[in-house]
């Protein structure tokens, strides 16, 4: 965390000196990224720096594109990291989202020291959705370490998950469709898998 | 809707004939887009076509980048269109998300024939969040018709909203910060606006 602040501050200082500076985040700098930190720091320091934010592809979207179309309908992004948000708050969000049948993308599902959160999240979703609910596990999407698994709620905990993973849990309409994971938009396509 | 099916089907037929076809969606084809429809149609027709999905910048992200960093923490995307999803389901999702302090991006907030949904959505959020909660209203982002307004829950209904608009509602920590709308990640930046 300290490093993120320092990187932001260094970039802003260079910009104040007149340089054109790019501060690079992986994914979308506006989603669990550094865009807000840069704005906050500039405001807190009283630095009048012109800031432009360039959106990017967030991990959930990159994962979704590899998996099919899991996020085609209403969905939520929730980080399981309790470093900056109390676990009670995160748990309440998981329960609320699970109860109203939203697809969910779980960011930061597990770290070296933090392993119980994903288990608890899966248990919460199991109260509302069957074990056969499609789940995508996508790690380091777009890098040479990329690894994508298509599984379900019952088996997701058997898969390797780390801080570079995003876990996508389908809703009651989501389906495996061949090698794909799709949340149908309800167009009423006739016929089924042939 | 019929046109979307026809476009997908035409693209798939051309691909079946051996052509390399690009089916273009605005935003991210995986978020309220045509990626899932293409997969569904191919599966339903039994067409063995190699499909690759290229993710893009969804309206909420494009809007967020113009507004600051409203989506920096957990958020939900909810469409207010009741064409394919019953309004009761949408309303329950709005209430759940409002109660657990998620930032929300409302897609398809209003159409010619459908004006009450946004009013009801705002009323639901007003039960849980003060009128001063930051709200961004972003229309046709990235086009020559782009129009961005930064307002709040109390005044959002005074703004022009149509089917090309996305409405971003902050959570309890979201703040106006100069000309920006930021949901702070809790790094604990010292100092305030100077």
Q: What is the DSSP letter of B80?
A: -
Please write the tens of the pLDDT for every residue from B80-99: 999 889 999 999 999 999 99
Distance from CA of A99 to the nearest CA of B (A): 8
Q: Would you tell me how many other CB atoms lie within 10 Å of the CB of residue B92?
A: 15
Q: What pLDDT was estimated at residue B188? A: 65
What CA–CA distance (Å, rounded) separates A168 from B130? 32
Give which of A30, A57, A180 to mutate to test B binding, by max B Cβ within 10 Å.
A30
CA angle A45, A49, A54 (to 5 degrees): 115
Contacts of A116 by beta carbon, 8 Å cutoff, 6+ apart: none
3-class secondary structure, B148 = strand
Contacts of B191 in chain A (CB under 8 A): 44-46
Local structure of B14: helix, strand or coil: helix
* Tens-place pLDDT, residues A71-87: 999 999 999 999 889 99
pLDDT value at residue B189: 66
Residue B127 predicted with pLDDT over 50: yes
Name A105's bridge partners.
A77, A168
CA distances from A85 to A78, A95, B95 (A): 11, 16, 21
CA-to-CA distance for B161 and A141, rounded, in angstroms? 35
Among A33, A76, A121, A175, which would you mutate to test the B interface (most chain B Cβ atoms within 10 Å of its Cβ)? A76
- Read off the pLDDT band of A189 (50, 70, 90): low
Q: Look at residue B94 in the predicted model and tell me its pLDDT.
A: 98
Within 8 A of B99 by CB-CB distance, chain A residues are 96
DSSP tag of A113: S
User: What is chain B's Cα-based Rg?
Assistant: 19
pLDDT of residue B194: 31
Q: Choose the mutation target among B33, B49, B55 for the interface with A, i.e. most A CBs under 10 Å.
A: B55
A103 φ, ψ (degrees, to nearest 5): -65, 150
Q: For chain A, what is the mean pLDDT?
A: 93
pLDDT value, residue B107: 97
> Hey, is B69 helix, strand or coil?
strand
> Residue B89: phi, psi to the nearest 5?
-65, -45
* Cα–Cα dist A124/A122, whole Å: 5
| Beta carbons of B105 and B168 less than 8 angstroms apart | yes
Where are the strands (E) in B45-161, listed by range?
A: 68-69, 75-79, 103-107, 134-139, 147-152
A103, A106, A107, A111 alpha-carbon torsion, rounded to 10°: -170
- Listed in sequence order, the residues at least 6 apart from B88 whose beta carbon sits closer than 8 Å to its beta carbon are none
Provide, rounded to the nearest whole percent, the portion of chain B with pLDDT above 90: 86
User: Inter-chain contact A68–B53, Cβ cutoff 8 Å?
Assistant: yes
Do the Cβ atoms of B60 and A71 come closer than 8 Å?
no
Percent of chain A with pLDDT over 70: 95
Q: Are A72 and B79 in contact (CB under 8 A)?
A: no
Quote the pLDDT of residue B182: 97
A124 has a pLDDT exceeding 50:
yes
The CA-CA-CA angle for residues B172, B108, B5, to 5°, reads 140
Alpha helices in B112-183 (DSSP H): 116-128
Residue A78 to residue B5: CA distance in whole angstroms: 32
**Helices B116-128/B87-99 angle, 10° precision:** 30
Q: ipTM of the predicted structure?
A: 0.94
Q: What is the pLDDT of residues B141-167, one digit of tens each?
A: 999 999 999 999 999 999 999 989 999
Task: Tell me the average pLDDT across A19-48.
Answer: 95
How high is the pLDDT of residue B1? 57
The per-residue pLDDT for A1 is 57
* Separation in Å, CA of A145 to nearest CA in chain B: 19
What digits encode the pLDDT tens for the residues B41-56?
A: 999 999 999 999 999 9
d(CA B43, CA A49): 52
- The per-residue pLDDT for B114 is 84
- Compare CB distances from B185 to A61, A66, A84 and report the shortest one's residue: A84
Give the pair of three-digit tokens for residue A188. Answer: 């009423």
Q: How far apart are CA A46 and CA A55, in angstroms?
A: 25
**Across A44-72, average pLDDT:** 97
Residues β-bridged to residue B76: A76, B104
For residue A98, pLDDT over 90 is answered with yes
Residue pair A79/A90 in contact (Cβ under 8 Å)? The answer is yes
Predicted confidence band at A191 (pLDDT cuts at 50, 70, 90)? very low
| Chain B residues closer than 8 Å to A79 by CB | 73-74
Q: Are B68 and B174 spatial neighbours (Cβ–Cβ below 8 Å)?
A: no
């Amino acid at each position: 965390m300290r490093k993120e602040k320092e990187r932001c501050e260094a970039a802003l200082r260079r910009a104040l000196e007149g340089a054109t500076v790019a501060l690079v985040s992986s994914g979308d700098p506006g989603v669990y990224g550094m865009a807000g930190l840069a704005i906050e720091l500039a405001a807190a320091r009283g630095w009048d720096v012109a800031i432009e934010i360039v959106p990017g592809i967030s991990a959930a979207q990159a994962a979704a594109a590899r998996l099919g179309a899991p996020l085609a309908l209403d969905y939520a992004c929730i980080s399981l990291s309790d470093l900056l948000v109390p676990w009670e708050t995160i748990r309440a969000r998981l329960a609320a989202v699970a109860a109203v049948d939203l697809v969910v993308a779980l960011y930061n599902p597990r770290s070296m020291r933090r392993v119980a959160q994903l288990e608890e999240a899966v248990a919460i979703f199991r109260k509302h959705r069957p074990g056969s609910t499609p789940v995508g596990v996508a790690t380091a999407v777009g890098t040479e370490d990329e690894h994508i698994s298509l599984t379900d709620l019952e088996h997701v905990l058997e898969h390797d998950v780390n801080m570079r993973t995003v876990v996508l849990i389908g809703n009651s309409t989501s389906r495996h469709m061949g090698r794909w994971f799709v949340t149908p938009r309800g167009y009423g396509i006739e016929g089924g898998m042939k």
